């Protein structure tokens, strides 16, 4: 079943057809979401009432476009803020983790490594509730102890950031470790021989080498945070990030406004992904 082994014509046709069907299945839901963003009707469904840009730029009811819908814009801002915090935090910790696992031999290293992988196999909802439970234990303890009510420990943006950070860090660590493993240690030693101290050697030699992986990890972390639903759902307070805001609207019934938001999301994230691919090819 490789091109050098002759296969019957019908087998090849059936196989090719199957693969084509698969890609149709992959593309279908995304295509309909995109197409119905332009439907001039209150519902993202047939009949097709004509083409309109209103769901993007419309200013009047009933067709208020994305760019004039306050609630959606605010939640995009919230999501971007959360995603930025998560990306910076998780890549910082991911980098220190990568150095730790790559450069040091210590007792319990294997155990810590497995522990580090664990967040990937814990369901997002469970991660969310465990952090919810713990932070509220802390908040209640603080109240009993000092009569202080620390709002930051109640459901809200801080918890959302910490919740997403708790598993995205694992991914950042894996991405950066993979690159660090390919690093030629003798380059660093050369810098040391030439009189640089350790920190300077790492800053001028190792970190620039790691930069493509770190930037890639920032983008992946940003996207994962932006799209996260499960963990966020359990930890969200009054400021809803975009996925939660869209979910609430979707439950009430959908208008093509949601299609327009989705289309912009798709464009935004594919653009980011493309940038990373181009960047990594150069790096």
Partner 1 sequence: MRNQSRITFYLLLTPLVLWLGLLIIIPHIDMLLISLRERISFGVYETSLSQYEKALTEPLYLRTFWRTAVMSVLATVITLLIAFPVAYYIAKMAKGRLQQVLFLLCLIPFYVSELVRTFGWMILLRETGLISSLLQWVGLADQPVELLYTDATMMVGLVYTSMLFIVVPLVTTLESLDDSVIEAGYDLGGSGFSVLREIIIPHAMPGIVSGCIVVFMLSLGNYLTPTMLGGKDSLWFTEMIYNQFIVRSNWELGAAFGFMLLVLSSVIVWGMLRLTGRTLKETMG
278 lines the binding site for partner 1 (CB under 8 A): no
Say how many residues make up the chain: 283
Report the alpha-carbon distance of residue 40 to residue 51 in Å, rounded: 6
- Span 56-85, contacts to partner 1 by CB under 8 A: none
Please give the Cα distance from 187 to 193 (Å, whole number): 10
**Token output for 189:** 């030693």
Among 68, 80, 215, 227, binds partner 1 (CB under 8 A): 227
- Computed over its alpha carbons, how large is the radius of gyration of the chain? 24
Please give the C-alpha separations between residue 113 and each of 98, 103, 177, 198, 233, in angstroms, as whole numbers: 10, 13, 12, 25, 28
Q: Rounded to the nearest whole angstrom, what is the least distance from the CB of residue 54 to partner 1 in the complex?
A: 18
Token reading at 145: 């102890």
Least Å distance, CB 78 to partner 1, is: 15
Residue 226 CA, distance from chain mean position: 5
Please tell me whether residue 100 binds partner 1 under the rule CB under 8 A: yes
Minimal distance in Å, beta carbon 205 to partner 1?
16
155 to 194, contacts with partner 1 by CB under 8 A? Answer: 162-163, 165-166, 169, 174
The CB-of-149 to partner 1 minimum distance in angstroms stands at 17
Of 24, 26, 152, 207, the one binding partner 1 by CB under 8 A:
26
d(CA 104, CA 129): 34
Binding mask 106-145 for partner 1 (x = CB under 8 A): x---x-xxxxxxxxxxxxxxxx-xxxxxx--x--------
Among 13, 17, 24, 30, binds partner 1 (CB under 8 A): 30
């Amino acid at each position: 079943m490789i091109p050098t082994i002759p296969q019957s014509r019908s087998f090849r046709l059936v196989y090719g057809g199957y693969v084509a069907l698969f890609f149709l299945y992959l593309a279908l839901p995304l295509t309909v979401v995109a197409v119905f963003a332009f439907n001039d009707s209150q519902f993202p469904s047939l009949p097709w009432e004509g083409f309109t840009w209103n769901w993007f730029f419309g200013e009047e009811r009933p067709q208020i476009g994305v760019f004039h819908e306050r609630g959606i814009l605010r939640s995009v801002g919230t999501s971007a803020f959360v995603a930025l915090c998560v990306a910076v935090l998780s890549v910082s910790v991911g980098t220190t983790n990568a150095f730790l696992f790559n450069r040091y031999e210590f007792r319990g290293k294997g155990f810590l490594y497995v522990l580090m992988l664990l967040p990937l196999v814990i369901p997002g909802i469970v991660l969310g509730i465990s952090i919810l439970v713990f932070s509220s234990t802390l908040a209640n303890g603080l109240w009993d102890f000092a009569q202080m009510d620390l709002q930051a420990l109640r459901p809200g943006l801080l918890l959302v950031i910490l919740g997403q950070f708790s598993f995205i860090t694992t991914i950042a660590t894996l991405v950066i470790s993979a690159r660090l493993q390919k690093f030629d240690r003798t380059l660093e030693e050369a810098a040391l021989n030439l009189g640089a101290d350790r920190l300077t050697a790492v800053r001028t030699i190792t970190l620039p080498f790691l930069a493509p992986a770190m930037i890639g990890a920032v983008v992946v972390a940003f996207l994962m945070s932006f799209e996260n639903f499960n963990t966020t759902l359990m930890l969200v307070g009054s400021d809803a990030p975009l996925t939660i805001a869209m979910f609430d609207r979707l439950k009430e019934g959908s208008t093509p406004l949601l299609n327009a938001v989705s289309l912009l999301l798709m464009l935004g994230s594919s653009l980011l992904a493309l940038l990373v691919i181009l960047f990594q090819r150069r790096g």
